[in-house]
Structure 1
Amino acid sequence: MKDLTDIINIDPGAKTKQFQKGDILQRDGDAKASTFYVKKGLLRSYIIDSKGKEHIFMFAPAGWITADLEALEFNEPVKLFIDCLEDSEIIIFNKDCLLKADLPKEKIAENTQLLYRRLGKLQRRVLMLMGSPAIDRYTYFINTYPELPNRVPQRMIATYLGITPQALSTIRRKIVRSK
């Protein structure tokens, strides 16, 4: 998000921290949720179901924000795990700083537009999971995260898409053959 660092700097409690690949920033059941802005690196948000299966909710590359919005908004225990897929530089901030920030109308409009874009992508992802063929979901993933196929394991992409790694391999072969 363009210029979000300036807004976050308004929060005196915001901290920039370095994390290593594999570090878990937030766990299911944590009492307090945080908001994470990725300056550098890559995060993922996911749940683990009652059978121990992982379900990836989203990836957050540099310039993205991730948080357990439900836990933040309703002051509930955290449901999403958030971890580092790469060494990362993260700004941890309070969501209220965005509400309290004394910003020019242009900045508010710009950031609102970016927020709506991200929410639109999330809505589209949910709708695609509900009824789109796996190949369409993969194409949308590639368009949303063009740099990620070379940065994350294929099993994570498959989990994100709601398919098996074998199904992902089949889809990728079909796409290569059709070119």
Structure 2
Amino acid sequence: MDIRTRLHQHFTQLVPLTDDEFEYIWSHFSLKKFKKRQTLIQEGDAVKFHYWVHKGLIKSSHTDESGKEHILQFAMEDWWVSDYLALYNHTPATLTVDCIEDSEVLVLSDDDHQKLAREIHAFSNFFLLKKKGGYVGLQQRILLLLFKNPRERYERLQQLQPKLMQRVPKTLLAAYLGVSRESLSRLYQGEM
């Protein structure tokens, strides 16, 4: 399926759009291709864009003072990604967003995003629904990290995102689950 049709379906799964509305929305996006390990956002940079993943796999992470990477999100096809704290507060990025696989993304500037939200009610409603879903997912993730053991976190991810688990290297899965690489190996073998 071509990228334009796919984005159209992505929007209309949640909100109705006329053909004219979608054409206008579509005119504000640009396609960017990134290679594996290429960075979309670097910690400390200004953030001005929303990214929608057409193909590939992207991660957002933060590296602490000791050099340990903490992964907040994986974004695969049909997912949105950015450093939203930096984007909405106009502060330097606290996350690095980079490609795990070669990726194709549609890029929408935050200025255009705001303009479209003012002009097209359905566009605004779409992102309201996306943000609500994202907030619920984030709350569930935090509760899992706080109150569930590594086995339960692993099983929950396996249940919710089995395709993702097949695509993400084990070192990155371990960082996402908050366990060591060795602990993840034991989870795979059923020892924990």
Instruction: Note if 1:102 corresponds to 2:117.
Output: no
Instruction: Identify if the C-alpha distance between structure 1 residues 30 and 13 changes in structure 2 by more than 3 Å, giving closer, same or farther.
Output: farther
| Sequence identity percentage | 30
Contact 1:33 1:77 in 2 (8 A): no
**Structure 2 counterparts to residues 161-172 of structure 1, below 5 A:** 161-172=177-188
Q: TM-score, normalised by structure 1?
A: 0.85
Q: Could you say which residue in structure 2 is the equivalent of 1:26? A: 41
Letter in 1 for 2:183: A
Contact 2:48 2:109 in 1 (8 A): no
**Structure 2 counterparts to residues 37-76 of structure 1, below 5 A:** 37-76=52-91
Q: CA deviation at 1:12?
A: 4.9
Contact 2:71 2:175 in 1 (8 A): yes
Q: CA deviation at 1:33?
A: 3.8
CA distance in structure 2 between the partners assigned to 1:101 and 1:155 by the alignment: 44
Q: Could you say which residue in structure 2 is the equivalent of 1:143? A: 159
Query: Matched residue of 1:36: which SS?
Result: strand
Comparing 89-98 with 148-157, greater Cα deviation is found at: 89-98
CA distance in structure 2 between the partners assigned to 1:8 and 1:144 by the alignment: 33
Q: CA deviation at 1:150?
A: 1.9
Higher helix share: 2
Per-residue CA deviations over 1:88-141 (Å, capped at 9, x if unaligned) read 11011123255234144xx76565434322321111001111121111111121
Instruction: Note if 1:10 corresponds to 2:25.
Output: yes
CA distance in structure 1 between the partners assigned to 2:85 and 2:42 by the alignment: 14
Instruction: Identify if the C-alpha distance between structure 1 residues 69 and 7 changes in structure 2 by more than 3 Å, giving closer, same or farther.
Output: farther
Q: Could you say which residue in structure 2 is the equivalent of 1:174? A: 190
Q: Is there any run of 5+ residues in structure 1 with no aligned partner, and where?
A: none
Q: Is there any run of 5+ residues in structure 2 with no aligned partner, and where?
A: 1-6, 13-20
Structure 1: 4+ residue segments shifted above 6 A: none
Letter in 2 for 1:133: N
Instruction: Note if 1:36 corresponds to 2:51.
Output: yes
Per-residue CA deviations over 1:13-42 (Å, capped at 9, x if unaligned) read 531111111111110000234211101111
Letter in 2 for 1:102: I
Q: Could you say which residue in structure 1 is the equivalent of 2:147? A: 131
Query: Matched residue of 2:189: which SS?
Result: helix
CA distance in structure 2 between the partners assigned to 1:16 and 1:44 by the alignment: 18
Q: Could you say which residue in structure 2 is the equivalent of 1:93? A: 108
Instruction: Identify if the C-alpha distance between structure 1 residues 116 and 98 changes in structure 2 by more than 3 Å, giving closer, same or farther.
Output: farther
RMSD between superposed Cα atoms in Å: 2.6
Per-residue CA deviations over 1:132-156 (Å, capped at 9, x if unaligned) read 1111111121233211222121010
Q: CA deviation at 1:72?
A: 1.0
